[in-house]
A and B are shown apart, each in its own frame.
Chain A
Amino acid sequence: MSSNTIKVTDECIGCGICVDLCPLNCLRMGADNKPYLQYEECWYCGCCEIECPVSCLKMHFPFLIY
């Protein structure tokens, strides 16, 4: 699924920490070894962004709520 909620830059090292820690289990690693939002089940808590060791992930608010 394509979504703008999670945006990742090329600096991503593919560690998977964001995917593992997301409390809603809605991120997955893509074939390019970068995370993407597979399910529109994000609570916009921002944990994925805060936990990223190289600060390459940005969380955006889901379209329906703004």
Chain B
Amino acid sequence: MKLQQITVNTDLLIIGGGCAGSMAAICIKEAAPNLNVCIMEKGHIKRSGSVTMGMDALNVAVIPGISTPEEYLETLKKKCWGIIDYLPNYTLAQRSFELLKTLESWGVFFPKSEDGNYNIMQVDTSGKFCVAMDEPDLKPIMEKKIREAKIDVLNKTMGTKLIVKDGKVLGAVGFNINNGQVVCCRAKSVILANGSASRFGLPNTGYLYGTFDFPGNAGDGFALAYRAGAKITGMEFTLRYALVKDLNIPLIYIVLTRGGQVINTSGEVIVDKNNLSIFLIVEALENRKGPLFLKTDHLAKEKILEIENILFSTERPMQRRYWELKGIKFGRDLIELNLTEAQLCGGHGISGIVIDELAQTNIKGLFAAGDVSSVPMQHLTGAFVYGKIAGESSIEYCNNENFSENHKDIDREFAAEFEHLGNLLNLAENNAIQHTTFEYKLRRIINEYLLSPKNASSLKKGLNLINELREQLPHQVQARNFHELSKILEIGYILDCAQMSALSSLTRKESRWGCIHKRSDYPDTDDVNWLKHIDLQVGHTYPETDIYLREIQRGDGK
């Protein structure tokens, strides 16, 4: 088994071909056809990412006449307990309707009532920002546009390192997880769009890949950016969602907005469409007020059919088979809900690479979009809007910056990464522990020491164990092929995320966001001292980390 080298030269490199990366690529090619664009995607662009097929809602859509960006910001501020910056989120809201229109022009279907209005759902205790979408082929629609625009795609290729010199990005290294080709990609600008840290906490089933969010994302983007010197924020926001127990897929919004209820064992209604908030369900479960169930037996037949039609056609149609297997029928049986594993995500939560309203990171020429970046709770809308913005900003950067031929620095950095991968492969060929076993242990430790209720002793213990596992990784985990080598790299990313999360949680000496960051040694919320962001940046030598507190950016950029 030997690694091979190849070199790719491009103007713009996009790492990650989910919705954010695909949108960036399409927009760049439309606006600047003269620029070369290349996408590195770990899976296959047609089906990879959080959206492998379709989606049933755009969770952030500020539609003229229905809501305003100001109202969106007010709602978001409440949900994030004040830890949001004004401009990135305002921009998201402001550009969300234009995005919806773009998608519609591509043939993405948004159902409308007879009078021509979108189907807008209230999924928060205030504000109507969620628009129903009924598009089973969202991902293939994007892939077709990429193919038609003749954008270069390197499938099965994972970005393993950003090449940065003097605070400026010069390219990246990619690794083909099937054939072992290591790609030296020289680029003027790089957009990171490779998703969240889904494989973080361990799901209650113990099944490593049974996560809520797409398990192909192991925090690769967070780790790559962090190692390269980008600032990462919000890593103490260890988010657990409430979803269908064991299956871990979402359907709560779809069922509740159509009249379903969440009840406890005494039949008491905990949440329905009048007080719809996923966080109320999470709190009830965290506070051991469960088990909780979705109840639909009071709904009319047409409603049940409507629910089934959506659930079994757009986002995860395979679930029909699950319900058959379990003998559960909508409209008749209760469906048990439970907490998901903990994840770190800039789409559902607030964790990710620090970007501004132009999708810029603190590294010149490096942009980030979607779940990998911190635009709190931006969801799919954010992936699209910031994919587009990252595209626009990177074109601007390519057209206005001076680029000297800097092959020497790139080649040196590439050679170091090539050697590192080769050495790791040589070591790992003779190791004995399976990657899944090692990952299980790491994620069990995350559950035990890094999640709420948190306290200084458990977080420090967690940090020590993470350091021990870091030492052991190259000497314990076996790789008999390139796929398995990619899993060792991914475990390295999970380790980075775990370390960052523990450090941020230790730093935030207060409790915030209910059960998401509950410190038993600092039980109160302390707005005087902690209404701030906690940013991390790699220190002098990796994985040493510097910690910064950053003020909240309030309205109008002040």
Contacts and interface: CB of A to CB of B under 8 A. Distances in A.
Interface of A: 20-25, 39-47, 49-51, 59-62, 64-66
Contacts of B483: 25, 39
A49 to B, nearest CB: 8
Interface residues of B, number: 35
B53 to A, nearest CB: 7
B208 A41 contact: yes
Given A21-B44, A50-B53, A65-B207, A43 B215 contact: yes
Contacts of B53: 45-47, 50
Contacts of A66: 246-247, 322, 325-326
Contacts of B89: none
A31 B156 CA distance: 22
Interface string B232-258: 000000000000001110000000000
B156 A25 contact: yes
A45 B208 contact: no
Given A45-B47, A45-B316, A66-B322, 16 more contacts: A21-B46, A24-B209, A25-B43, A25-B156, A25-B483, A39-B483, A40-B207, A41-B209, A43-B211, A46-B317, A59-B321, A61-B247, A64-B205, A64-B207, A65-B205, A65-B248
19 contacts: A21-B44, A22-B43, A23-B47, A24-B216, A25-B42, A25-B483, A41-B209, A42-B209, A43-B215, A45-B47, A47-B47, A47-B53, A61-B247, A64-B206, A65-B246, A65-B247, A66-B246, A66-B322, A66-B325
A23 B44 contact: yes
Contact of B436 (A40, A43, A59): A40
A8 to B, nearest CB: 16
A44 B557 CA distance: 44
Nearest to B248: A65
B204 to A, nearest CB: 10
A28 B515 CA distance: 41
B317 A43 contact: no
Given A24-B43, A24-B216, A65-B210, A45 B49 contact: no
A43 B316 CA distance: 11
Interface in B426-470: 436
Contacts of A45: 47, 52-53, 316, 318
A27 B291 CA distance: 36
A43 B43 CA distance: 13
B318 A25 contact: no
